[in-house]
Amino acid sequence: MGSIGGSRHLNALNAPRYWPILRKEYKWVVKPSPGPHAIERSIPLLVLVRNVLGYAETAREARRLIAGGHFKVDGKVRKDYKFPVGLMDVIEVVETGELYRVIPVPTRVLGLVKIPREEASFKLCRIENKVTVKGGHIQLNLHDGRNLLVRVNDARNPVEDVYETLGAVKLSIPVQQLLDYIPLKEGVIAIVSGGRNVGRVGKVVSIHRGMKRYRSIVTIEDRSGNRFQTSLDYIFPIGLEKPLITLPEGAW
């Protein structure tokens, strides 16, 4: 894949392969703004509105709709047509009330699944890193750029810190309230966010950790009893006994 740094636009041929654009029809395509998701792991809001949701036929129409405040991401109106939309984000079409979540899907990496209103009040975020900050409190750095502070009463005995990297937290949106925690361990349900098994869902059977995250291997078993393996880096926990989020039909 070609470089996507530099200018405001990308050559369509160099855009991430999972973007649903007609590369022979578009010479240039908008590049996502710096934001909560890495450019390589997101889709510009304009592309989502025009090419995925189909609310516009042209970039100009899509920009006008977005500037008019017709779309929310994680409960907030976004008027920047370059805003990066990524994994687990909740999309709302304000006028129709339609709600979607961005999830990994087979072959296309990122796709949308329609969700009910009650599910649009939260999102799942994977813990990418954690650090101790002033006062002994714990800061969780999440996959979508959020930082979540976990306050502890006693820095010498931080019993509140039950969170581990690569586990997932359930957060309310748009208010960032911690609702639940899904550790990454054997028996939890996870979705694969990348690689050749992207979009597949199953229970974690075993985790063999290597020196590096991408060299660690996780064995997953789907509902049909089929087992497959993927990199630990691609594992996203989504539930303990059942998925907390809506999945495409047949995924679980």
Total domain count, the chain: 3
| Residue 213: CATH number of its domain | 2.30.30.30
Predicted local distance difference test score (pLDDT) of residue 214: 72
Query: Is there a domain that residue 144 lies in?
Result: yes
Closest by alpha carbon to 214, among 198, 199, 228, 194? 194
Does one domain contain both 23 and 69? Answer: yes
**CA neighbours closer than 13 Å in the CB half-sphere of residue 97:** 3
Under a CB-based contact definition with an 8 Å cutoff, are residues 237 and 189 in contact?
Answer: yes
Mean local confidence (pLDDT), 132-136: 93
Could you tell me if 176 and 192 lie in one domain?
no
Average pLDDT over residues 229-249: 96
CATH of the domain at 45: 3.10.290.10
Residue 139 in domain = yes
Q: What is the CATH number of the domain that holds 175?
A: 2.40.50.740
Last residue of a domain, one of 86, 112, 134: 86
Domain that holds residue 31: 10-86
CB atoms within 10 A of CB 213: 15
SS (H, E, C) 179-229: EEEECCCCCCEEEECCCCCCCCEEEEEEEECCCCHHHCEEEEECCCCCEEE
Tell whether 149 and 207 lie within a shared domain: no
Instruction: Tell whether 195 and 171 lie within a shared domain.
Output: no
Residue 64 shares a structural domain with residue 132:
no
49 and 27 co-located in one domain: yes
Question: Beta partners for 104?
Answer: 110
Q: What is the pTM of this model?
A: 0.87
pLDDT of residue 213: 77
Q: Which residues pair with 139 in a beta bridge?
A: 131, 149
Statement to judge: residues 173 and 216 lie in one domain = no
pLDDT number for residue 192: 96
Nearest to 68, CA basis, from 58, 80, 82, 51: 80
**144: pLDDT strictly greater than 60:** yes
Q: And the tokens for 67?
A: 């500037």
pLDDT at 16: 53
Mean pLDDT of all residues in 207-233: 92
- Same structural domain, 75 and 47: yes
